């Protein structure tokens, strides 16, 4: 792996704020980001990245590669939860296996946003349609996870309404916001976009730094609880993202142009949802343990991807 690339990533100020949050928890500091502020910042990041993606999409021709990319994203969101479910069943029950599989088949919008910041830092271009691909990958994995629970649940004591679940997935606040912002960015003229550029672009990295500080605090808290859960969950949360990320980084070269787009696909395949999936699983899989799948995604997989994962996947893309 390119040592310079790794150092650049690990010394990124936004990422260092993430580590500061973890340190704050370990030394038992009272440092906290108010919940209302954290929610606003997460909404801002989704709005900004969606709008900028729409602008990029407006300047792109809707060619075969874009349609291939969208289809590939949906395929990943179906295949990943399916194969990981059977690995998880070696250790966990049906409910936990389905919930974890759904989380790892779905995506982390914050990891995606951090990857975009990484690409901008390295001056690597990417397509606006990748925002749409990310949004489309949320729902399929949730549906696959719930279907697997339904098929292999021997108790049959819980009725699962798939139609209601699909609606819940598509109307989830984060999904709706990023798709809506993508459409607004697509419809806005260059002059109109320039008018709100100070909001959508200029302050983006500052807000990302504050949000990653908050994520560091949350990860530090979850990590302390997670250490007690055992080695299998920890190894799964590291090894499966590496397998998914490296496989997609290599395979995507066959039909996707551009290092930026390929890295974003790799990071989407390697990431795990800790927002949309937990919200859906509270409804669809109430017997699944959120203190298991939430720390796996947030306290283990997320830090790995934004520190070592991105340089690793990019190295594979550039040299293989």
Backbone angles phi, psi at 188, to 5 degrees: -70, 140
Digit-coded pLDDT (tens) for 56-95: 778 777 788 888 888 999 999 999 999 999 999 999 999 9
Percent of the chain with pLDDT over 90: 34
| pLDDT of 255 strictly over 90 | no
Residues contacting residue 284 through CB under 8 Å, at least 6 positions apart: 142, 146, 149, 160, 165
pLDDT score of 279 more than 90: no
Contacts of 27 (CB under 8 A, 6+ apart): none
CB 50 within 8 A of CB 178: yes
- Which CATH architecture describes the domain 3-21+37-319? Up-down Bundle (1.20)
Chain mean pLDDT for the chain: 85
Reported as a pLDDT band with limits 50, 70 and 90, residue 172 is low
pLDDT in tens, 105-126: 999 888 998 999 899 888 999 9
pTM: 0.81
Q: Is 239 helix (H, G, I), strand (E, B) or coil?
A: helix
Tell me the two tokens of residue 260: 């930026």
Mean pLDDT of 226-230: 68
∠ Cα 51 55 56 (to 5°): 115
pLDDT tens digits for 187-203?
999 899 889 888 888 88
How confident is the model at residue 162, as a pLDDT?
65
Q: How much is the pLDDT for 302? A: 92
Question: Rounded to an integer, what distance in angstroms lies between the CA atom of residue 271 and that of residue 107?
Answer: 5
Q: What is the pLDDT confidence band of residue 305, given thresholds at 50, 70 and 90?
A: very high
């Amino acid at each position: 792996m390119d040592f310079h690339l790794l150092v650049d990533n690990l010394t990124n100020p936004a990422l260092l704020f993430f580590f500061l949050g973890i340190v704050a928890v370990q030394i038992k500091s009272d440092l906290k980001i108010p919940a209302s502020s954290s929610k606003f910042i997460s909404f801002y990041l989704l709005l900004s990245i969606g709008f900028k993606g729409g602008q990029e999409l407006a300047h792109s021709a809707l060619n075969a590669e874009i349609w291939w990319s969208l289809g590939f994203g949906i395929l990943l969101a179906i295949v990943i939860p399916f194969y990981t479910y059977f690995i998880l069943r070696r250790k966990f029950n049906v409910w936990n296996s389905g919930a974890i599989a759904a989380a790892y088949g779905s995506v982390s919008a914050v990891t995606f946003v951090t990857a975009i910041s990484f690409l901008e830092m390295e001056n690597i271009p990417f397509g606006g349609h990748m925002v749409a691909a990310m949004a489309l990958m949320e729902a399929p994995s949730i549906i696959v996870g719930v279907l697997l629970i339904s098929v292999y649940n021997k108790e049959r004591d819980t009725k699962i309404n798939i139609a209601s679940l699909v609606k819940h997935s598509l109307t989830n606040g984060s999904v709706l916001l990023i798709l809506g912002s993508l459409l607004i960015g697509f419809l806005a003229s260059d002059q109109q976009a320039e008018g709100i550029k100070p909001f959508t672009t200029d302050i983006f990295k500052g807000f990302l730094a504050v949000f990653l500080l908050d994520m560091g605090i949350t990860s530090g808290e979850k990590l302390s609880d997670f250490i007690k859960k055992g080695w299998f969950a920890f190894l799964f949360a590291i090894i499966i993202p590496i397998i998914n990320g490296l496989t997609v980084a290599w395979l995507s070269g066959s039909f996707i142009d551009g290092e930026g787009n390929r890295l974003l696909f790799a990071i989407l395949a390697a990431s795990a949802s800790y927002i949309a999936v937990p919200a859906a699983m509270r409804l669809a899989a109430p017997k699944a343990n959120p203190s298991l799948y939430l720390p796996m995604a947030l306290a283990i997989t997320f830090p790995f991807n934004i520190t070592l994962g991105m340089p690793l996947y990019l190295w594979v893309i550039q040299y293989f």
